Chains A and B, each alone.
Chain A
């Protein structure tokens, strides 16, 4: 009986500890989610977008610093306006999309979390995996928690939204993407801008 009561107490504590945490699904039914990439090399400036975003993020509005989760980008959705450039970008020499179909970022910890009303800024540290190469990076993000706003976006669905914005830079040489080649046309540093919204239905 005592053992049973102890287990119930432990279960209660676990529930209390995770009560505020919500899981947000970043597969956007509206198709707005996107990642913009920019390179500015001496001979060429290239802008493109990836729209195939998915993944789940666990977020507690009462404890934003405990955020964890994984964002997945379908590499085949990377688009640039020039068709030949797109073919090269997705080809074996650059991102090799056929062999490495996803680009992922898995957040493992957050630091410097500051919250004002429903907006939190934080530095997310996690593992970025591009072309099969995983590297630990820190990304500054702005999180906006929109309570009860899901119904405004998806009728007949109650719940909350989490908007994630961030701009940061990665080096293609760190991920073995055509390392040291063509830097006059494609810079080593690639600027990535995240514009993502996740939903947590109730």
Chain B
């Protein structure tokens, strides 16, 4: 699930972002202005943490099953 979510969000190989830049051209000066829009883009840190948590849950559930 974590890998699918990460891949569907653009497979960002950098750190997780909470905003993304958009360029807006000023018609008079022709300067490119930068506007940041709030958007969650999971990065490799999110992917790693998600995989680690998934692994821990799997290990705990396996250990509990064996105890039974």
Interface set of A (CB-CB < 8 Å, partner B)? 30-34, 36, 44-45, 47, 49, 51, 79, 81-85, 144, 146, 149, 152-153, 161, 163, 165, 195-197
Contacts and interface: CB of A to CB of B under 8 A. Distances in A.
B36 A81 contact: yes
Contacts of A30: 26, 33
B26 A32 contact: yes
Interface residues of B, number: 20
Interface stretch (B10-18, B49-57, B58-66): B10-18
Interface in B28-68: 28-34, 36, 41, 43
Contacts of B32: 195
Contact of B31 (A85, A149, A195): A195
Given A32-B26, A153-B29, A82 B36 contact: no
A-B complex: 6 closest residue pairs judged by Cβ atoms: A32-B33, A81-B17, A197-B29, A82-B15, A49-B34, A195-B31
A32 to B, nearest CB: 4
Given A30-B26, A32-B26, A149-B28, A195 B20 contact: no
A32 B18 contact: no
Nearest to A144: B29
A195 B26 CA distance: 11
Contacts, number: 59
A44 B43 CA distance: 13
A195 B25 CA distance: 11
B42 to A, nearest CB: 11
A82 B16 CA distance: 6
Q: Residue among A32, A34, A51 with the most chain B CB within 10 A?
A: A32
A128 to B, nearest CB: 21
Contacts of A149: 28
A79 B19 contact: yes
B18 A196 contact: no
Given A82-B16, A85-B15, A195 B21 contact: no
B24 A32 contact: yes
Contacts of B18: 81-83
B31 A197 contact: yes
A141 to B, nearest CB: 14
Nearest to B33: A32
Most buried by A among B17, B21, B34: B34
Nearest to B24: A32
Contacts of A47: 21
A152 B33 CA distance: 17
